[in-house]
Amino acid sequence: MSTATTHGHAHDHHDDHHGPAKGLMRWVTTTNHKDIGTLYLVFALVMLFVGGAMALIIRLELFQPGLQFVNPDFFNQMTTMHALIMVFGMIMPAFVGFANWMIPMMIGAPDMALPRLNNWSFWILPFASGILVSTLFMDGGGPAGGWTLYPPLVLQTGNAFPFAIFAVHLLGMSSIMGAINIIVTIMNMRAPGMTLLKMPLFVWTWLITAYLLIGAMPVLAGGVTMLLTDQFFGTSFFSAAGGGDPVLFQHIFWFFGHPEVYIIILPAFGIVSQIIPTFSRKPLFGYDSMVYATASIGFLSYIVWAHHMFTVGMPLAGMMFFMLSTMLIAIPTGVKVFNWLSTMWRGSLTFETPMLFAIGFLFLFTIGGFSGLMLAITPADFQYHDTYFVVAHFHYVLVPGALFGALGGAYYWLPKWTGHMYDETLGKVHFWMSAIFVNVTFFPQHFLGLAGMPRRIPDYATQFADWNMVSSIGAFGFGFAQLLFVYVVIKCVRGGKPATAEVWDNPEGLEWTVPSPAPYHTFDEAPVIK
């Protein structure tokens, strides 16, 4: 790439006359998609540890029965903040960082379509997250109504409440602007010959994710604004005393919340769809069906929201509809899983760190998918609802699902981003520590939930003590294992073995040839055997 494209094409006049901005200002004012992608990824990594620290406070308190370390109010603030930070401050920015870095290169564009909007989308994030975290230091503490912000619970938050709502608004704005940028870039800036059905799968998953974001985030904004007016302006959208209904909030929230979980997982699907063909040395099996499956998941994600609400007293027809439509989502998801397996089938497999994370993703995400099917069965859900079984389910989808997808993508593209090879041995150690501890942490929570342990409680009956202790040990192991990842990244950025253009073509010294160059044959397309 020429320096013109590397440094972005939207310099302002100051840059034109005095060379590129130096030092700190380069990062504050940058319009370059790679710089902004890096900012997103570094920010997400920081927030992983902020949200992770909150999770460890939760697990520390649950290590044994009784109230040991924090008071119940603070415990509830931790569960609420842990979720909001991890979802809006960590996993979504991480995937937007991947999108910024890779989409222009994958479609042959010089940069994102709206570079200044791109800069603003990022810089809203640290301030929004700062406001959110600052609520913990306000009178009465941070929001404690769960990440779902249900009224009337969340309205008892006190002074922190409007700040939390404002932070959620800002985080949503950042997401919406990022999504607009991605759609405009993909639709308008593809290289000649790059038809939609020739785009890498990662680009497709982000195109569909961006539409989900634009559809879902304004619904959340509306819901939290109604909470705000209920609290300060005398409306009663959600107050039964004034003719409102708190269940209305649940409908609004989950109409956002269900597409949101697919917003979180689809980019991970895209990353895994890049990694598996590379290390199988075969093209992705069933490319077109993967695209259509992703689109079906996106469409269906909007008509299943009330499966989060089977216990609110829904009519039978409603319960039947939401049960069956939820089960329908399992079909395109299953198509994707079997296509990934078929890609690996009879491939020339090697197991570098990115491939390990992709295979770990495949196996563990499927466990989360099956427990999701269990939760979709309405009569069974009456038993599972609001127990630790639900916590186990969504953490299997989000941690060895979305987070493993992100970690796999980071290892996969680090050589491309830095020009250096990361330490493969440490990468594999990081994978195995993560894979073992994530299961030690979350698998026992299935048992706890089926035995009847409720979610969001700081204290519990003694029969739940053993598995909680196991879960807490796993959580600390998993948390500290992630420090190794930080070390690997820093070591890679600072130097190491230079990465060649064929960094993933020839891991074992075998003879491979790269396919003939074309606009969309980027470094992550599968090479062909000689």
The yes-or-no answer on residue 169 being catalytic is no
Report yes or no on 295 lying in a domain: no
Tell me how many domains the chain contains. Answer: 1
Report yes or no on 266 lying in a domain: no
The yes-or-no answer on residue 497 being catalytic is no
Question: Which amino acid is present at 31?
Answer: T
Q: CA-CA distance, 337 to 325, in Å (whole number)?
A: 19
CATH code for the domain of 113: 1.20.210.10
The one catalytic residue in 169, 308, 385, 446 is 308
Is the bond preceding residue 152 a cis peptide, omega within 30 degrees?
Answer: yes
Q: CA-CA distance, 384 to 398, in Å (whole number)?
A: 19
pLDDT of res. 526: 46
Partner residues linked to 498 by β-bridges: 420
CB count in 10 Å sphere of residue 431: 26
Contacts of 234 (CB under 8 A, 6+ apart): none
Among 214-218, 292-296, 379-383, 523-527, the range scoring the smallest mean pLDDT is: 523-527
Spatial contact of 409 and 98, defined as CB atoms under 8 Å apart = yes
The yes-or-no answer on residue 147 being catalytic is yes
Report yes or no on 16 lying in a domain: no
The one catalytic residue in 336, 393, 395, 430 is 336
pLDDT band, very low/low/confident/very high, at 156 (cuts 50, 70, 90): confident
Q: Does the pTM exceed 0.85? A: yes
The yes-or-no answer on residue 455 being catalytic is yes
How distant is the alpha carbon of residue 524 from its chain centre? 22
pLDDT of res. 18: 52
For the cut 60, the answer to whether the pLDDT of residue 163 exceeds it is: yes
pLDDT of res. 116: 97
Report yes or no on 106 lying in a domain: yes
Q: Is 225 exposed, middle or buried (0-12, 13-18, 19+ CB in 10 A)?
A: middle
Partner residues linked to 529 by β-bridges: 512
The yes-or-no answer on residue 175 being catalytic is yes
pLDDT of res. 296: 98
CA Rg value for the chain? 23
Report yes or no on 95 lying in a domain: yes
User: What is the span of the domain harbouring residue 162?
Assistant: 1-6+33-194
The yes-or-no answer on residue 111 being catalytic is yes
Q: Is 217 exposed, middle or buried (0-12, 13-18, 19+ CB in 10 A)?
A: buried
Report yes or no on 176 lying in a domain: yes
For the cut 70, the answer to whether the pLDDT of residue 517 exceeds it is: no
Q: CA-CA distance, 236 to 450, in Å (whole number)?
A: 37
Report yes or no on 152 lying in a domain: yes
The yes-or-no answer on residue 82 being catalytic is yes
Q: Is 13 exposed, middle or buried (0-12, 13-18, 19+ CB in 10 A)?
A: exposed
Q: Whole-number mean pLDDT of the chain? A: 92
Q: What is the pLDDT of residues 25-72, one digit of tens each?
A: 999 999 999 999 999 999 999 999 999 999 999 999 999 999 999 999
Partner residues linked to 513 by β-bridges: 528
Report yes or no on 486 lying in a domain: no
Q: What is the pLDDT of residues 403-431, one digit of tens each?
A: 999 999 999 999 999 999 999 999 999 99
The yes-or-no answer on residue 236 being catalytic is no
